[in-house]
Amino acid sequence: MYLIIKHIKYETMTDDYVVAGTSDYLEGANELLDAHRIINKNKNILFSIVNLDEPLLLTDEVKGNPKQMELPLE
C-alpha cells in the first residue's frame, strides 16, 4: 500500500504530516500525487509518496508529538 503524505510547513509551529490518500498500486499513487500537486497552490504544502510495505522509522520529534493518533495495527 502507498500513502500520499501532505506535509504542511509552518514558520512558527512544528510541521504537520497528514495522510491525504492511499493506493494499492504505485501507478495509482503517482496519479493521486500528480492531482494533489496540480490542485495545490500553497508553497508551504508538499506532497509525497510513502510505501507502507517498508517499515516506517519515526523520529524523536514525531514520537513525542501529542497530536499523534494511535492506530491499531493488525
Q: Model confidence over 54-71: pLDDT tens digits?
A: 666 767 665 555 565 666
Q: Considering only residues 18 and 66, tell me which one the structure prediction assigns the higher pLDDT.
A: 18
Ranges assigned E (strand) in the chain: 2-8, 16-23, 45-51
CA dist 42 → 11, 55, 59, 68 (Å): 14, 30, 26, 24
Tell whether pTM > 0.75.
no
AA identity, residue 33: L
Q: Considering only residues 12 and 72, tell me which one the structure prediction assigns the higher pLDDT.
A: 12
Mean pLDDT of 28-36: 94
pLDDT (0 to 100) of residue 52: 82
Is the CB of residue 62 less than 8 Å from the CB of residue 18? no
- CA gap 36, 59 in Å, rounded: 26
